[in-house]
Structure 1
Amino acid sequence: MDKRTDSGVSPVIGTFLLLALSVVMITLVTISVMGIMGSYTPVYERSVGFTIDVNSSNDSALITPVSGTDLPFLQSYDVYTDNGHWYSPSPGGVTVDKFNSTVTFINIVGHFPEYVNALVFSGKVAVEGGVIVVVPAGGGYYVVGTDGYNTTTEFADSFNEWYNTYYNTGLNPGDPGYDVVTVSNKDLEFSNENPIIVGDQPIELSPDNIHDLSTGNIKILIKEGGNIVRAPGYYDALLQIGNASDHGVTQVTIEKKAGAPFTLNGSNIDGVTSPLIMVTSKGSLVVQKDATLIVENNLNVNGDGFGGGIYVANNGELVVSGTLRANSNSAKYGGGIYKASGGSVTTQGTGNIIYSGNTAVIAGPNIYNAL
Structure 2
Amino acid sequence: MRRTPARRPTMKDIALRAGVSESAVSFALNGRPGVSPVTRERIRRVAEQLGWQPRAAARALSGEGSATVGLVLARPARTLGVESFFLQLVSGIQEELSERGLGLLFQVVEGLDAECATYRRWWAEHRVDGVLVVDPRQDDPRPDLLGGLGLPAVMIGDADRATADDEPPAVSTLGADDAGIMAAIVGHLHALGHRRITHIAGLPEFAHTQRRIASLRAEAARLGLTEATSVTTDYSDSEGAAATRRVLDQPQPPTALIYDNDVLAVAGLAVALERGIRVPDQLSLVAWDDSVLCRSVHPALTAPLRDTAAFGRHAAQALTALLDGAPAGHTQEPLPRLEARGSTGPAPATAPQEGRSGPRKTS
Q: TM-score, normalised by structure 2?
A: 0.27
More strand per residue: 1
Greater relative CO, 1 or 2 (CA 8 Å, sep 6+): 2
